[in-house]
């Protein structure tokens, strides 16, 4: 029995990732212009080429945007497994929302303050929640 409730937090995290995309663009594009970089001058350039050229605080948004394409992919897979197997419970739904909230707080922290000990703590907490969800998905899919 497919249960779509668990997909709501996943969709919310996708929307947050898009917020980070636009935040990154709105800060990076003026920084590129200020640095006098001609984006068409070098074919095949990458965002990482801007390290040390534009302010670090500008790059923090890009770093976080990249991070939102790493571990959260596992979260999306877990929510689909739970949805397809009928594994949505109050606990899995709550854990999924907790993961999303932690990722949003992590994004805001990394993009503004970027103190590594706090950022790592948020990452670790999110990882633990994701691990619990993954084990629950494995049990449910068994």
Give pLDDT, residue 37: 86
Mean pLDDT for the stretch of residues 110-129 = 98
CB 68 within 8 A of CB 74: no
pLDDT at 73: 98
Residue 51's pLDDT is what?
87
5-58 pLDDT, tens digit per residue, is 999 999 999 999 999 999 999 999 999 999 988 877 777 777 888 888 899 999
Q: What is the pLDDT of residue 94?
A: 98
Torsion of CA 122, 106, 90, 74, to 10 degrees: -90
**The pLDDT of residue 47:** 80
Per-residue model confidence as pLDDT tens digits over 58-113: 999 999 999 999 999 999 999 999 999 999 999 999 999 999 999 999 999 999 99
Structure tokens, 131? 């691990």
**Beta-strand (E) ranges in the chain?**
none
* Domains, in order of start, for the chain: 4-37+54-141 (1.20.120)
Which pLDDT score, from 0 to 100, does residue 65 have?
Answer: 97
Cβ neighbours of residue 92 closer than 8 Å, sequence gap 6 or more: 6, 82, 133, 136
């Amino acid at each position: 029995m497919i249960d779509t409730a668990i997909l709501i937090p996943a969709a919310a995290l996708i929307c947050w990732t898009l917020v980070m995309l636009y935040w990154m663009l709105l800060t990076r594009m003026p920084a590129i212009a200020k640095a006098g970089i001609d984006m068409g001058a070098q074919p095949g350039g990458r965002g990482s080429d801007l390290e040390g050229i534009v302010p670090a605080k500008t790059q923090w948004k890009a770093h976080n945007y990249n991070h939102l394409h790493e571990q959260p992919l596992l979260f999306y897979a877990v929510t689909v497994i739970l949805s397809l197997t009928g594994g949505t419970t109050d606990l899995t739904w709550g854990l999924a929302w907790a993961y999303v909230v932690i990722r949003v707080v992590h994004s805001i922290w990394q993009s503004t303050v970027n103190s590594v000990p706090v950022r790592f703590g948020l990452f670790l907490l999110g990882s633990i929640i994701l691990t619990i969800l993954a084990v629950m998905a494995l049990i449910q899919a068994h």
